[in-house]
Structure 1
Amino acid sequence: MKSYLSLVPISAKVHKRQNRMTLMCIVIAVFLVTTVFSIVGAIVDMEKTSMIGSHGYWHISIQDISEDVAEQIRSRSDVKTVSECETINAGVDENYYIGSQRAVLYGVDESWVTDIWDFLEDGTYPESDTEVIASANIKNTLGVDIGDSITLNTPSGSTEYTISGFGSHDLEFNDMYDAVTVYMNRGAFSELCLANNVEESPVYYVRFSTDNGVAKRINDIKENYGLTDEIVDENTALLAITGASSNGYAQALYPLAAILFVLIVLAGVFMISSSMNSNVAQRTQFFGMMRCIGMSKQQITRYVRLEALNWCKTAIPIGIILGVVVTWVVCFGVKYGIGGEFAEIPLFYVSASGIVLGVAVGILTVLLAAHSPAKRAAKVSPAAAVSGNAQNGAKTRCTKIIGGMKIDTALGISHAVSARKNLILMTGSFALSIILFFGFSVGLDFAKALIPSTRSWQPDLSITSDDESNSVDKNLAAELSKVEGITQVYGNMALLDVPAVSEKGVSEITLVSYEEYMLQCAKENMVSGDLSKLSGDSNYVLTIYDARNPLETGDKVQVNGTELEVVGTVSEGLFEDDITLICTEETFERLMGDSDYALLNVQIADNVDKNKIVSSIRSMMSENYSLADYYDTNKDNNAEFWGIRLAVYVFLAIIILMAALNIINSTSMSVAAKTKQYGAMRAVGMDGRQLTKMITAEVLTYAAFGCVIGCAVGLYLNKTIYEAFITAYFGEIWHIPVREIAIILLFIFASVVMAVHAPAKRMRNMEITATINDM
């Protein structure tokens, strides 16, 4: 043997059974990090693909610049392409029609079709001024194909074009507004602008050569060409995914992710350190003997650290493999079980960053965790080799304080609190698991707030009038309710920009009526106030929470000469981005004089023929009505909602599993470290039942401290995240998550019960003499 360090692999073989729990702790820590970041990586890749499909592969758009400036930006080495685009009738409120449907017109160059959006499903880019790409929905509405002619009706007259291809861009937009879109080259678009007296104002879309360093490149372009923030827009959806967005909401998410990452690392450090602390405590006599034969304190310290790194050779690969396998299972589940946007998730995804972080965190946590046990082992004196136990120097004052309890309970609590360092490690380990649980559980509320299709009143189809007035016949609601497959029909009257007077400085409001169904749905979203006052013809209204809405419950607003009192605030509703007041239909009719609907909304059953229902509705509609279709979008959003929730549930399950295994592991090792003490107790007359109660009291002490600290800090973190990312943007009010508290406490104390069983049984069944002589 050339070095004391040569004993490390020998010791690992001899103490294989004792080291098993420590190895498991390292595996869990690596597994947690690898799984979390691999799943996040797979979701980020999926979201990037989805964002490119729905928002385009561009990084910034620039308006109000000259062609010369655009050409200079295009010539930069870090720019892949600069594409030009301009629209007419983007608000779908002007007289541009193809057949009976409103038309939105795009003037684009070829790179906008191929590099920025890549939406061409069939056909080619329109080379001549008489060709256009048409949105795919025009196939069904007009029954046309490539090579056929369509007539565009504009305020200046009619123009005939030949279809050169079909595109999938703006599918959701067309469904929502019952519109079609056409894309023509810049020459044809300029002719159209000239004929209709439309001033050209193209927007330039910039795509960089890579997604790396985008924020710096954007700032360089702004500085070099004197561009202001007002004329430069970011593709926030794409940049947020790649971590380059300057959007305030996106930027706030980055430090949150960093905090959660640090918490994960700390949870691993506490768990492994607690395990190693117990491991070292079991081998006090071994380290004393090493000191007797000449090993120095520094050598002992190096020995413990090398031993910890030796465990990494086995534990880290196992943790990474388990993490990758679980990631594949989750990806498979959301891809084929949920579908929708999650159908794009990579199936056998291997995250290089997840693996690197798993390895780094495994080594880092082991080195950090080994620091304290290494120092403790180095302090063992040669005299400890004779006694075999040097760790029990704690004072007995705790036993005196709790002297009113039975001796077994008092001793258990005394064992827990007397070893302060072990108490901190055990308590910290439990607490961090609980804090992580509360931190990740906000994701469930975030998914609900972020995806509107989860609202109970979300329509599948909406009928509006072409002039956006309150002119949709009320009687149509009764006719639609008779159509098979329609489950709910409800209407709303609405007026925008209604003059108002308020002490809060509100000068214009949006007034919308709710009928009985919508009022019942509003109960789910009440932030404050009393909804019961809102009935019949009254002067009571609700308002919708928004950061820009100063109105609160109790405020009064004058509308059309009538003073209205705000009796409640809801977190979401129709026109929630405006300063909106909600009243009953009777109140709306008295104030505004309108009696028909601006919106007639329809919800349909699952697994029905939507196209058949749409055809039935169109046959009942007036020619000056439009039908917006949200059905497919709602299905995709619902799938995305459950996909996000599933990912959060997986994270929570991993955290709960980590907490349970940590409690079981730590309890087993703590009991093993005190084997001689328990043997002495058995020798002086303590029976098996008392021994079990003593171990239970010790573990419950750790759990109680951990739960108190974990719940206090975890609830504060939960509330802070909720208010920063949900209340501030969506208006939802934070409430104490009673269900989550009950779940985590139930699992913690169930884990305590399981943790006590095996070690207590082992101590009861061990012979007293063997217990005293056990090392």
Structure 2
Amino acid sequence: MKSYLDLVRISAKIRRKQSRMTRLCIVLAVFLVAAIFSMADMEIQSQIYQVIQSNGSWHAAFQGIDGQQEKLIRARAEAENAASYTMVSDGTEGDYLIEGTSAAVMGMDENLTEMMPAVRFQEGGFPDSADEAAVTESVRGQLGLEIGDTVHLTSSAGEELSLTVAGVLEDDSVMGGENAFGLLINSKAVDKYFSNTVESGDVTLLVQFHRFCNIQKTLDDICGELGIDPALVGTNARLLALQFQSNDSGITGLYSVAAVLAVLVTVAGVLMISSSMNSSVARRTQFFGMMRCLGADQRQVRRLVRSEALNWCRTAIPIGLGMSVLVVWALCAMLRAISPTYFNGLPVFGVSWPGLAAGVLVGLVTVLLAARSPAKRAAKVSPLTAVSENAGSARQVRGAVHTRLFHIETALGIHHAAGSRKNFLLMAGSFAFSIILFLSFSPAVDFMNHAIKPLRPSAPDLSVVSQDNTCSIPRELAEELRDNPVIKKVYGRSFACAVPARAGGEEIQIDLVSYEENQFRWAEDAAAQGSLADAEAGKGVMAVKMNAAREFSVGEEIEIDFTSGTKTVNVSGVLNESVFHVSDGSTVLICSEELFRELTGQTDYTVIDVQFQRGVTDRDVEKIRALAGDSFTVEDNREDNSEVRGAYYSFALFLYGFLAVITLISVFNIINSISMSVSARIQQYGAMRAIGMSSSQLLRMIAAEAVTYVVWGMIAGCAAGLLLNWKIFGLLVTDRWGDPWYVPVSAIAVILAVMTAAAVAAVKIPARQIREMSVADTISAM
């Protein structure tokens, strides 16, 4: 042995079993930090992936600029990629037609497809020459076009342009409206055929900047130097926010909340490891006293304790990192399974290097910070302590144990817990921080439910809508759709809009809407008052409260003036919301299809909604579109639904994963801390057994000690946690949506129940070990 620090390796081999709990604490602390930071990084990456897939990877869009300004922007060193697109026609005005159907015509640079993954080719590729074009799947499906065929584009002036089909695009919103054929041409074709009709405002330059440049400052410089109106510069706001390039005050508030939570996680790790190391030092007081007898000074003892802690990190940190990687793999696999459309780009076995780096860095810093207090405590051990053979038990007695309120064993347990103020604060503090972490993260659930609306059960994958909002869609179409094997549900609604009515002596206008069986089932959760069953049976109407111009009471009568005469209906109930969008200031009444026909005489639908089975293809959708014909608007919502579903599930997995990790750490921390506290007093328990204390009394004493730590931890944790919960809720929810803060009773109940169950388990494990040991073994155990 060349140095006294070699004792670290020797002690690690001899005391491997005794140091197991401390190493487990370090593993859990590293796992907590690495898992949370890795999940945060995974969530950011998944959101960035979603944004790029839906909106593109561009950062800024310059509209209405001239050719010289465009050249200067493209030449800037900060610009990694730049491409322009020209909206020749959006397909809504009928300026251009393909075989009598409105056409959305867009010209773009070929490299724009690199920044816009939504522009996807099913066949062929980007048109190379000015006489080629790419058509959307709807054009090919309805006109039977193939690669190499000719498509004829006719202008409103009667001019005809023939182009060769070079590729087939997937139908997407970037190519115009749902009922317009999409035609994609290159920039050469725009200059050749449409230069006289295109205005400067129709041309947009999309720019992708280098990742590590200051994008906001760069945009300010560009606008100032080139004289561009900042109002004409758009940004990909979500991508900028996810890449920490946003100046939005709301986004800055989110960054602040994330920083606070990161600090809380670090402090929780410090308290967990520090309490564990304090117990380890307490068990080896005689050892440190002997070192002092051999000539070690206080600085050397402190250095020995810190070196011992770092030696434990050699194995504990890799294990904690490995556990965090497994969690990230599991979450990535779940995201790919839940929403393959948006998350098929996530690697199944991806590794979050920022998360691992945070785990290593915070793990080492946490261990060094946690070792400070135990190192000072070990350095203060005097040489006399080693000679006295009473190491670890000679504590200053501040007063006798109070036995007036409790039995002796219960009073002893409370006395043991409160005997050392520093140890008590560390133990109770580590338990309190579990509650503080849980309550600090819980407002994110409310933020998620506001920011990312979950997909409703009533959300349609495809809708057939009357263009004039009348009951013009035949019921036979709904029956025919029900027979389609790719369709799971078909449900229609009939509308009678802006009908004059009177209620309570007040002249109003109402919108009468019919529901069928499926929609009445979905409305059950929204029923606030009255009877939904009566409305479904045709005995009344349900008034929608959401965005309503006035509120109705159950039993109120409404006189409605239809063309066939005045009819009176009763309000049988009130709904908080509807399955469709309700405009502000509307008065919407829901009734059954039978009552709607009786009141209006109309039998057909205004809207038919469709939900598909799994595995539906674009060809199936095109067949339905062709079946509906050109008289109605067909809205394909599959892409939007997939985006909403993917965004919600990814955030939910990320958030509940956080809460699950915090809960798991809380359980292990309580069990580990109580076990180490018992191990530190093993000689005292042996002496108590020797003088006649029974195993059941020992159990009650250990339980009293555990309850003291946990109860005070609960009190402190709830007090501080509620304060942080209120503050974070204000930043995340109240400042954005105005919702008032509420006491999170369910979150408090969950974490307190988990901590209570963990405390019960923590008592049983060491008590069983002591009960199984003989008195002689217990006394001699170290």
Q: TM-score, normalised by structure 1?
A: 0.84
- 2:695 paired with 1:693: no
**1:577 CA displacement:** 8.2
Paired residues for 1:345-744 under 5 Å: 345-385=346-386, 386=388, 387-389=390-392, 392-396=395-399, 399-400=401-402, 403-441=404-442, 449-452=450-453, 454-465=455-466, 467-473=467-473, 475=475, 479=479, 482-483=482-483, 485-491=487-493, 493=495, 513=513, 515=515, 518=519, 521=522, 524=525, 530=529, 541-544=544-547, 570=576, 574-575=580-581, 582-584=588-590, 598-606=606-614, 615=623, 618-619=626-627, 621=628, 623-631=630-638, 633-635=640-642, 637-638=644-645, 641-714=648-721, 717=724, 721=728, 724-725=731-732, 740-744=747-751
Change in CA separation of 1:471 and 1:119 when aligned onto 2, cut-off 3 Å = same
Deviations 1:139-187 (A, max 9, x none): 2232212221223344333533324433647625679824432222345
- CA distance in structure 2 between the partners assigned to 1:494 and 1:63 by the alignment: 42
Q: Which amino acid aligns with 1:421?
A: K
The corresponding residue for 2:73 is 73
**1:79 CA displacement:** 1.2
**1:410 CA displacement:** 2.4
Deviations 1:200-241 (A, max 9, x none): 532221122445433332333234334454222111232223
Change in CA separation of 1:153 and 1:445 when aligned onto 2, cut-off 3 Å = farther
- CA distance in structure 1 between the partners assigned to 2:437 and 2:549 by the alignment: 35
- CA distance in structure 1 between the partners assigned to 2:448 and 2:176 by the alignment: 24
The corresponding residue for 1:328 is 329
- CA distance in structure 2 between the partners assigned to 1:394 and 1:583 by the alignment: 76
- CA distance in structure 1 between the partners assigned to 2:490 and 2:347 by the alignment: 38
- CA distance in structure 2 between the partners assigned to 1:232 and 1:129 by the alignment: 29
Q: Which amino acid aligns with 1:487?
A: K
Deviations 1:721-769 (A, max 9, x none): 5565457667888776555444433432232222222211222233334
The corresponding residue for 1:165 is 166
Q: Which amino acid aligns with 2:590?
A: T
**1:302 CA displacement:** 2.1
- CA distance in structure 2 between the partners assigned to 1:95 and 1:727 by the alignment: 47
Deviations 1:326-361 (A, max 9, x none): 333433444356533222111232222122111111
- CA distance in structure 2 between the partners assigned to 1:442 and 1:661 by the alignment: 24
Q: Which amino acid aligns with 2:283?
A: Q
Partner secondary structure for residue 110 of structure 1: coil
Q: Which amino acid aligns with 1:171?
A: D
Paired residues for 1:271-282 under 5 Å: 271-282=272-283
- CA distance in structure 1 between the partners assigned to 2:40 and 2:381 by the alignment: 45
1:486·1:604 contact (CA, 8 Å) conserved in 2? yes
Q: Which amino acid aligns with 1:65?
A: I
Deviates more, 1:634-643 or 1:382-391: 634-643
Q: Which amino acid aligns with 1:388?
A: A
- 2:244 paired with 1:243: yes
**1:428 CA displacement:** 2.3
- 2:245 paired with 1:255: no
Q: Which amino acid aligns with 1:32?
A: L
Deviations 1:39-97 (A, max 9, x none): 44344334433322321221101223332222211111221333222325548465644
Partner secondary structure for residue 771 of structure 1: helix
Deviates more, 1:60-69 or 1:207-216: 207-216
Q: Which amino acid aligns with 1:279?
A: S
Q: Which amino acid aligns with 2:709?
A: Y
2:478·2:608 contact (CA, 8 Å) conserved in 1? no
Partner secondary structure for residue 611 of structure 2: strand
The corresponding residue for 2:291 is 290
2:310·2:364 contact (CA, 8 Å) conserved in 1? yes
Partner secondary structure for residue 111 of structure 2: helix
The corresponding residue for 1:23 is 23
The corresponding residue for 1:505 is none
Change in CA separation of 1:170 and 1:208 when aligned onto 2, cut-off 3 Å = farther
- 2:106 paired with 1:106: yes
**1:295 CA displacement:** 2.5
- CA distance in structure 2 between the partners assigned to 1:728 and 1:451 by the alignment: 17
- CA distance in structure 2 between the partners assigned to 1:553 and 1:11 by the alignment: 78
2:490·2:611 contact (CA, 8 Å) conserved in 1? yes
Q: Quote the RMSD (CA, aligned, Å).
A: 4.4
Change in CA separation of 1:715 and 1:411 when aligned onto 2, cut-off 3 Å = same
- CA distance in structure 1 between the partners assigned to 2:76 and 2:119 by the alignment: 26
Change in CA separation of 1:710 and 1:179 when aligned onto 2, cut-off 3 Å = farther
- CA distance in structure 1 between the partners assigned to 2:182 and 2:226 by the alignment: 33
Change in CA separation of 1:638 and 1:207 when aligned onto 2, cut-off 3 Å = closer
- CA distance in structure 2 between the partners assigned to 1:720 and 1:488 by the alignment: 46
- CA distance in structure 1 between the partners assigned to 2:166 and 2:742 by the alignment: 53
Q: Which amino acid aligns with 1:361?
A: V
- CA distance in structure 2 between the partners assigned to 1:578 and 1:249 by the alignment: 26
Change in CA separation of 1:634 and 1:279 when aligned onto 2, cut-off 3 Å = same
Deviates more, 1:710-719 or 1:665-674: 710-719
Partner secondary structure for residue 381 of structure 2: coil
Deviates more, 1:723-732 or 1:625-634: 723-732
Deviations 1:410-447 (A, max 9, x none): 22222223322222222222232233334445555655
2:91·2:176 contact (CA, 8 Å) conserved in 1? no
Q: What percentage of residue pairs aligned between the two structures are identical?
A: 35
Instruction: Figure out how many residues of one structure are paired with residues of the other and give that number.
Output: 752
Change in CA separation of 1:226 and 1:706 when aligned onto 2, cut-off 3 Å = farther
**1:700 CA displacement:** 2.2
Partner secondary structure for residue 383 of structure 1: helix
The corresponding residue for 2:61 is 61
**1:365 CA displacement:** 0.4
Deviates more, 1:205-214 or 1:512-521: 512-521
- CA distance in structure 2 between the partners assigned to 1:457 and 1:83 by the alignment: 39
1:487·1:604 contact (CA, 8 Å) conserved in 2? yes
- CA distance in structure 1 between the partners assigned to 2:725 and 2:480 by the alignment: 45
**1:473 CA displacement:** 3.4
The corresponding residue for 1:204 is 205
1:139·1:145 contact (CA, 8 Å) conserved in 2? yes
- CA distance in structure 2 between the partners assigned to 1:115 and 1:609 by the alignment: 26
